[in-house]
């Protein structure tokens, strides 16, 4: 949700900022802007639209400067236009700021500043913050760092900010609360700042992740200084980055989404790496070892998540209840936190988040923690806020996911949930040794089956070409594949803008069946081991009303083939692990339909990958 990037060093900042903004564009693409210090001037360029619009706007302008800040926006306060684009100037234009987050009390701060004669050029909360900082400087004659510190003590809400100043042309000040911020330290104290490490990785591996309410002072050629907003000095903890450059580039694929779909044999394998010993029949998840007994004895597990991660959570519910016999509730984090939920110390909360930054999921964790529950995280981004806020957990190791529509993160989450449920079930004795071993061997074989399944890409593309023009889609599944139906529908609507609904197959007759006519494609997951006969009856109900059936079936299927219009085969698999396969054709179907409709699949309209506002 907004991407920020900044540079101070010996190099020209502009190309570094632009490249960094392109890497961060998944966080929002309503507008983009940069501000660079050239001598004692701050030159600001900003434009509504994507980074590419900013590039055309700056073409031919001789943009110079070795200190600069850049921003790509996902609009919260004020419509996407040039004025609301970041960076924002202070009243005197001595200071410029970029900001990710929301200053919740901006309206009252703005009212006070207006009374004191400040004039604003945008509708943003960010402009209020930079005016406030300047106002403090003017009225108290403190230095810039102190003015920033005082201002941050007056603000409520979330921020990751970087500020530059005409009067201190060799300094950058950054600070964060709730929104992520990482600082890269290059040779001779060259500094990079960004919302995530992707703009930094090709320049340095040495990074400092800022914690909440910390302020960083970066000065040319000088050591990084950190303090908290109460003015206590902090020693920077420098870590080595694990992200590699190849992981964040398209590698010959037309889109990140397609690359990420095709990476799944590898990403699922990485999620299992070192965690399964087939010979000994063991699953070991180091990050939850200390909490396993707690999970085994839990009165219930509450899974909290948003979006695709919530769908993975639903698969987790089936897995934990079916295999480990522990009651599970799956909650939208945003609902959970606001409905005064009953939580006690014997509850275990599993928070699932690809980015590890989703504001609602983080708030749900905080609430459950206050009430004494044990919190387990399943995150993809190492070192993310959620991964640090949990008691224990397991990373998914899917690698960076850049496409806004989540694909490989979903299968990695389901893989880790499968490992967790199997491990707990085994230790609890709720499944037999032979069943445990059988599922373990099957899980281990999933990456190969995914690779096989990806060979159906051309066929799926053909099916996409037939349905690319429709306005509605229905997705049906039962049991383990009901969450996959929801996920399939979400994938289609987010990237192709076709209205789609996922439903439990048997629920169709309680409403959606009214929508079915010869125009309506219905995707049905009809695998052999998952309530097969019942699903066939549901398919018959659709066919009786002339609906078009696209069925996901098990290889060698005979019965569904007789009635479906199109079938996509998946390899034979146990029902409990089938979501890891059935979701793949649905990802490809959405992808191809979106491409054929001319949609921007990696950056769908109005969406952002990391949602750090409520
Ligand atoms: C956004 C993204 C989704 C994602 C959801 C939850 O809406 O566009 O792809 O599933 O946030 O994000 P998280 O990072 O917590 O999994």
Q: What is the pLDDT of residue 407?
A: 98
416 C-alpha to ligand 1 centroid (Å):
17
Please report where in the chains the tokens 């480990």 appear, as a residue: 324
Three-state DSSP at 208 gives: strand
Split at pLDDT 50, 70, 90, the class of 514 is confident
Say if CB 461 and CB 434 are below 8 A apart: no
Split at pLDDT 50, 70, 90, the class of 97 is very high
Query: Over 80: is that where the pLDDT of 140 sits?
Result: yes
Q: Facing residues of 226 across strands? A: 216, 234
Q: What is the pLDDT of residue 597?
A: 97
Q: What is the arithmetic mean of pLDDT over 544-567?
A: 94
Full strand arrangement of the beta sheet holding 3-8: 41-48, 31-38, 67-73, 3-8, 191-194, 182-185, 206-209, 239-240
Measured from the Cα of 404, ligand 1's closest atom is 8
Q: What is the pLDDT of residue 63?
A: 94
Q: Whose CA is nearest to atom 8 of ligand 1?
A: 609
Q: What is the pLDDT of residue 159?
A: 94
> Burial of 207 by CB count in 10 Å (0-12 exposed, 13-18 middle, 19+ buried)?
buried
Q: How far is CA 581 from CA 154, 178, 393, 436, in A?
A: 51, 36, 25, 20
354 C-alpha to ligand 1 centroid (Å):
7
Q: Tell whether ligand 1 has an atom less than 6 A from the beta carbon of residue 332.
A: no
Q: Report the distance separating Cα 582 and Cα 453, nearest Å.
A: 9
Q: Report the distance separating Cα 95 and Cα 118, nearest Å.
A: 14
Task: Give the residue among 369, 207, 157, 262 at the shortest CA–CA distance from 588.
Answer: 262
Q: Whose CA is nearest to atom 15 of ligand 1?
A: 353
27 C-alpha to ligand 1 centroid (Å):
11
Measured from the Cα of 358, ligand 1's closest atom is 15
Q: Tell whether ligand 1 has an atom less than 6 A from the beta carbon of residue 334.
A: no
Annotated catalytic sites, by residue? 2, 609
Going 279 to 282 to 283 to 289, the CA torsion angle's sign is negative
Q: Residue 464: which residues within 8 A CB-CB, separation 6 or more? A: 588, 589, 592, 593, 596
Q: Whose CA is nearest to atom 1 of ligand 1?
A: 609
Q: How far is CA 170 from CA 12, 173, 216, 452, in A?
A: 14, 10, 14, 55
What's the token pair of residue 550? 């696209």
Per-residue pLDDT tens over the stretch 205-258: 999 999 999 999 999 999 999 999 999 999 999 999 877 777 777 878 999 999
Measured from the Cα of 381, ligand 1's closest atom is 14
- Four-CA torsion 452, 457, 462, 468, nearest 10 degrees: 130
Question: How big is the chain, counted in residues?
Answer: 614
Please report where in the chains the tokens 């979330």 appear, as a residue: 158
Query: Over 80: is that where the pLDDT of 351 sits?
Result: yes
Q: What is the arithmetic mean of pLDDT over 168-176?
A: 97
Q: Tell whether ligand 1 has an atom less than 6 A from the beta carbon of residue 355.
A: yes
Q: What is the pLDDT of residue 338?
A: 87
Q: What is the pLDDT of residue 386?
A: 92
Say if CB 439 and CB 608 are below 8 A apart: no
Q: What is the pLDDT of residue 247?
A: 75
Q: Tell whether ligand 1 has an atom less than 6 A from the beta carbon of residue 603.
A: no
Measured from the Cα of 308, ligand 1's closest atom is 10
Going 480 to 481 to 485 to 491, the CA torsion angle's sign is positive
Per-residue pLDDT tens over the stretch 290-345: 999 999 999 999 999 999 999 999 999 999 999 999 999 999 999 998 888 999 99
Q: Tell whether ligand 1 has an atom less than 6 A from the beta carbon of residue 52.
A: no
Split at pLDDT 50, 70, 90, the class of 14 is very high
Q: Report the distance separating Cα 535 and Cα 338, nearest Å.
A: 37
Measured from the Cα of 405, ligand 1's closest atom is 9
Dihedral-angle region of residue 138 (phi above 0 means left; psi in -120 to 50 means alpha; beta otherwise): alpha
92 C-alpha to ligand 1 centroid (Å):
39
Split at pLDDT 50, 70, 90, the class of 492 is very high
Q: Tell whether ligand 1 has an atom less than 6 A from the beta carbon of residue 380.
A: no
As a three-state string, the secondary structure of 11-48 is: CCHHHHHHHHHHHHHHHCCCEEEEEEEECCEEEEEEEE
307 C-alpha to ligand 1 centroid (Å):
5
Full strand arrangement of the beta sheet holding 300-305: 328-332, 300-305, 347-353, 374-379, 392-395
Q: What is the pLDDT of residue 77?
A: 78
- Four-CA torsion 378, 383, 384, 386, nearest 10 degrees: 50
Q: Residue 134: which residues within 8 A CB-CB, separation 6 or more? A: 90, 91, 92, 94, 95, 147
Three-state DSSP at 205 gives: coil
Percent over 70 (pLDDT), the chain: 99
Q: What is the pLDDT of residue 29?
A: 84
611 C-alpha to ligand 1 centroid (Å):
7
Q: Report the distance separating Cα 289 and Cα 424, nearest Å.
A: 10
φ, ψ for residue 68 (rounded to 5)? -165, 160
Q: β-strands 276-277, 282-283: how paired?
A: antiparallel
Three-state DSSP at 369 gives: helix
Q: Whose CA is nearest to atom 4 of ligand 1?
A: 307
> Burial of 341 by CB count in 10 Å (0-12 exposed, 13-18 middle, 19+ buried)?
middle
Measured from the Cα of 307, ligand 1's closest atom is 10
Q: What is the pLDDT of residue 593?
A: 98
363 C-alpha to ligand 1 centroid (Å):
15
Q: Report the distance separating Cα 492 and Cα 496, nearest Å.
A: 6
Q: Quick count: other Cβ atoms within 10 Å of Cβ 60?
A: 7
Give, for ligand 1, the residue of 178, 195, 260, 309 to mutate: max count of ligand atoms closer than 8 Å to Cβ: 309
Q: What is the arithmetic mean of pLDDT over 511-516?
A: 87
Q: Tell whether ligand 1 has an atom less than 6 A from the beta carbon of residue 313.
A: no
What's the token pair of residue 542? 């659709």
Q: Quick count: other Cβ atoms within 10 Å of Cβ 260?
A: 27
Q: Tell whether ligand 1 has an atom less than 6 A from the beta carbon of residue 607.
A: yes
Average pLDDT, the chain: 94
Q: Report the distance separating Cα 532 and Cα 10, nearest Å.
A: 65
Give, for ligand 1, the residue of 303, 354, 486, 490 to mutate: max count of ligand atoms closer than 8 Å to Cβ: 354
271 C-alpha to ligand 1 centroid (Å):
19
Please report where in the chains the tokens 């890497």 appear, as a residue: 23
Question: First-to-last CA distance in the chain?
Answer: 11
Q: Report the distance separating Cα 219 and Cα 231, nearest Å.
A: 18
Q: Report the distance separating Cα 544 and Cα 536, nearest Å.
A: 12
Q: What is the pLDDT of residue 535?
A: 87
């Amino acid at each position: 949700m907004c991407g920020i990037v900044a540079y101070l060093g010996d190099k020209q900042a502009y190309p570094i900022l632009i490249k960094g903004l392109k890497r961060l564009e998944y966080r929002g693409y309503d507008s983009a802007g940069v501000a660079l210090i050239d001598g004692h001037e701050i030159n600001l360029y900003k434009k509504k639209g994507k980074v590419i619009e900013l590039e055309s706007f700056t073409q031919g302008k001789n943009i110079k400067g070795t200190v600069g800040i850049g921003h790509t926006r996902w609009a919260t306060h004020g419509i996407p236009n040039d004025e609301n684009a970041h960076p924002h100037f202070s009243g005197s234009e001595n200071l410029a700021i970029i900001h990710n987050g929301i200053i919740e009390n901006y309206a009252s701060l703005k009212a006070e500043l207006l009374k004191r004669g400040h004039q604003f050029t945008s509708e943003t909360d960010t402009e209020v913050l930079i005016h406030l900082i300047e106002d403090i400087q003017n009225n108290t004659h403190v230095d810039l760092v102190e003015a920033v510190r005082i201002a941050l003590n007056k603000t409520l809400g979330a921020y990751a900010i970087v500020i530059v100043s005409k009067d201190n042309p060799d300094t950058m000040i950054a600070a964060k609360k709730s929104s992520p911020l990482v600082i890269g330290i290059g040779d001779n104290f060259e500094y990079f700042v960004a919302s995530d490490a992707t703009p930094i990785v090709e320049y340095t591996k040495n990074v400092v992740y800022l914690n909440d309410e910390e302020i960083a002072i970066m000065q040319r050629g000088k050591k990084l200084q950190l303090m908290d907003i109460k003015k206590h000095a902090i020693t920077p903890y420098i870590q080595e980055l694990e992200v590699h450059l190849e992981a964040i580039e398209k590698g010959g694929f037309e889109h990140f989404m397609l690359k990420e779909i095709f990476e799944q044999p590898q990403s699922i394998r990485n999620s299992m790496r070192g965690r399964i010993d087939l010979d000994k029949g063991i699953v070991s998840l180091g990050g939850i070892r200390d909490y396993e007994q707690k999970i085994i004895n839990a009165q219930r597990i509450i899974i909290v998540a948003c979006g695709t991660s919530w769908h993975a959570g639903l698969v987790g519910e089936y897995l934990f209840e079916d295999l480990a016999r522990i009651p599970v509730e799956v909650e939208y984090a945003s609902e959970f936190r606001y409905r005064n939920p009953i939580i006690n110390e014997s509850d275990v909360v599993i928070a699932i988040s690809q980015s590890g930054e989703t504001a609602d999921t983080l708030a749900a964790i905080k609430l459950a923690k206050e009430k004494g529950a044990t919190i387990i995280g399943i995150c993809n981004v190492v070192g993310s806020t959620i991964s640090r806020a949990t008691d224990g957990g397991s990373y998914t190791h899917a690698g960076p996911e850049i496409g806004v529509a989540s694909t490989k993160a979903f299968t990695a989450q389901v893989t880790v949930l499968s490992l967790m449920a199997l491990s707990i079930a085994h230790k609890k004795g709720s499944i037999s040794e032979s069943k445990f071993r059988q599922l373990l061997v099957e899980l281990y074989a999933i990456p190969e089956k995914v690779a096989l399944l990806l060979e159906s890409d051309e066929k799926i593309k053909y099916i996409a070409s037939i349905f690319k023009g429709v306005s509605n889609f229905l997705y049906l599944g039962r049991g383990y594949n009901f969450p996959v139906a929801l996920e399939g529908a979400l994938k289609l609507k987010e990237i192709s803008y076709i209205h789609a609904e996922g439903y439990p197959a048997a629920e169709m007759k309680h409403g959606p069946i009214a929508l079915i006519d010869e125009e309506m494609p219905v995707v049905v997951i009809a695998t052999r081991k998952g309530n097969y006969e019942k699903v066939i009856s549901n398919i018959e109900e659709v066919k009786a009303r002339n609906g078009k059936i696209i069925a996901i079936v098990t290889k060698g299927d005979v019965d569904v083939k007789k009635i479906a219009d199109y079938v996509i085969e998946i390899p034979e698999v146990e029902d409990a692990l089938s979501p890891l396969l059935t979701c793949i054709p649905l990802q490809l179907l959405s992808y191809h339909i979106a491409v054929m409709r001319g949609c921007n699949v990696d950056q769908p309209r109005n969406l952002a990958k990391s949602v750090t506002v409520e």
